[in-house]
Structure 1
Amino acid sequence: MNKLNTRLYAVLCAALLATSAHAEKADRDKPVNLEADTVTLDDIKKISVYQGNVVLSQGTLMLRADRVQVTQNADGLDKVSAIGRPVAFRQKTDSGDEFIEGFANRIEYDGVTSQLELIGQARLRRGSDELHGAQISYNANTGFYKVVGQPNAQTPSGRVRAVIRPKPRTSEQPAAKP
């Protein structure tokens, strides 16, 4: 029963985040800017590797990592792979002045499928709501989240954890009755 409650809680939190955590769509049409201590470029394979204090920005998106590998295709950005301790990103959502923030040991993004993977000590935060797990997957096209814990972990920290804080009530909303 406890395992079922934990899964239900994680699903509810993921659904809550998915409904309003859509990244600002206007960012997709903005240029990608990268800064690093060093860069290597393979013009034939269309792969660039940025190392040392890497900062990637695109519109309201800001990503910081130790190493970022970018692969391009005929349409432009194809895949981004970032490694750090942790990799951190922050981006404004379409739902106002709210931001979504993510942290993980590694972040993989597929520009063709709009699939984002946060791998290793993954955390995702929107406002005061949070998700923690070994891996967090998000598909921007479908709005679907999946959070995976570490099944063989010897401590409770290996489980998926979600924190959903109540939203502030406006003066028009009555308090919930018991």
Structure 2
Amino acid sequence: MKKLILSAAMLLLAAAGAHAEKADANKPTKIDYDDLQIDDVKQIKTLIGNVVLTRGTLLMKSPKAVVTTDPEGYNFVVLTSTPGTLSTFRQKRDGAGDQWIEGEAERIEYSDKTDLVKLFSKARVRQLEGPRMTSEVNSEFISYDSRTEHFDVKNNVSGVSKPGAGRGTMVIQPTIRPAAPAASAPAASTPPATEK
């Protein structure tokens, strides 16, 4: 079933207020692959086979990636999956604790100019605190702006919701609160000693 969730509900997903790791923007991009084709005139690099892109804490994996560099030097990456696989991304978020965002889809587009991630078809985004998932959203299209922590979720891969095209699912895990200190049991009274 196609999935949709209203953008207003997505505000709950970003309630923690953390942003993508700002230091990532100043890190070099490293890409591992099995095969590479470069068109220097058009500034297009096509990477095929076990593509792994890293930039600081940002980690993207896919069977295929096309990297286009604009005249200003910014990169635009399109990750595409093959049947039975999904392309993935994961990035640490600024803020207190061990906070992460990760997602998967059949196609992922990423711009290092805007830090915008778009997930198309079978899209899923999760927020984590360490290994614990705090929230998850599923839909046909999810756009995630890591600078502003804004999500836009639609029920159609075109990025525009269509009436009757499907519904979405959002799961918010309960907040783990510290356990209240146990009330101490009253001390057992001892009878007064009797003199003999």
User: Please, what is the CA RMSD of the aligned residues?
Assistant: 2.1
For residue 170 of structure 2, the aligned residue among 158, 162, 167 is 162
1:119 aligns with 2:127: no
Deviation string, structure 1 residues 14-43 (Cα, Å, up to 9, x no partner): 113334352111011000000111000111
1:26 aligns with 2:34: no
1:138 aligns with 2:144: yes
Unmatched 5+ residue regions in structure 1?
A: 1-5, 173-178
Residue in 1 aligned with 2:105?
104
Aligned residue pairs total 161
The separation in 1 between residues aligned to 2:21 and 2:138, in whole angstroms, is 23
* Cα distance change, pair 105–7 in 1 and its aligned pair in 2 (3 A): closer
- Alignment check: 8 A CA contact 1:70 1:77 kept: no
* Displacement after TM superposition at 1:103 (Å): 0.4
Q: Which has the larger share of strand? A: 1
The separation in 1 between residues aligned to 2:79 and 2:46, in whole angstroms, is 10
* Displacement after TM superposition at 1:171 (Å): 4.9
Name the SS of the counterpart of 1:76 in structure 2.
coil
* Displacement after TM superposition at 1:134 (Å): 0.5
- More deviation in 97-106 or 134-143? 134-143
Unmatched 5+ residue regions in structure 2?
A: 157-161, 181-196
Identity within the alignment, %? 39
Report the TM-score, using the length of structure 1 for normalisation.
0.81
Report the TM-score, using the length of structure 2 for normalisation.
0.74
The separation in 2 between residues aligned to 1:7 and 1:133, in whole angstroms, is 7
Give runs of ≥4 in structure 1 deviating > 4 Å.
150-153
- More deviation in 138-147 or 116-125? 138-147
Residue in 2 aligned with 1:66?
63
Name the SS of the counterpart of 2:153 in structure 1.
strand
The separation in 2 between residues aligned to 1:81 and 1:110, in whole angstroms, is 9
Q: Which has the larger share of helix? A: 1
The separation in 1 between residues aligned to 2:171 and 2:50, in whole angstroms, is 31
1:91 aligns with 2:120: no
Residue in 2 aligned with 1:17?
13
- Alignment check: 8 A CA contact 1:21 1:100 kept: no
The separation in 2 between residues aligned to 1:77 and 1:63, in whole angstroms, is 17
* Displacement after TM superposition at 1:141 (Å): 4.0
The separation in 2 between residues aligned to 1:7 and 1:31, in whole angstroms, is 35
The separation in 2 between residues aligned to 1:22 and 1:43, in whole angstroms, is 34
The separation in 1 between residues aligned to 2:122 and 2:5, in whole angstroms, is 19
* Cα distance change, pair 106–21 in 1 and its aligned pair in 2 (3 A): farther
The separation in 1 between residues aligned to 2:34 and 2:18, in whole angstroms, is 32
The separation in 2 between residues aligned to 1:102 and 1:34, in whole angstroms, is 19
Q: Which has the higher contact order (CA 8 A, sep 6+)?
A: 2
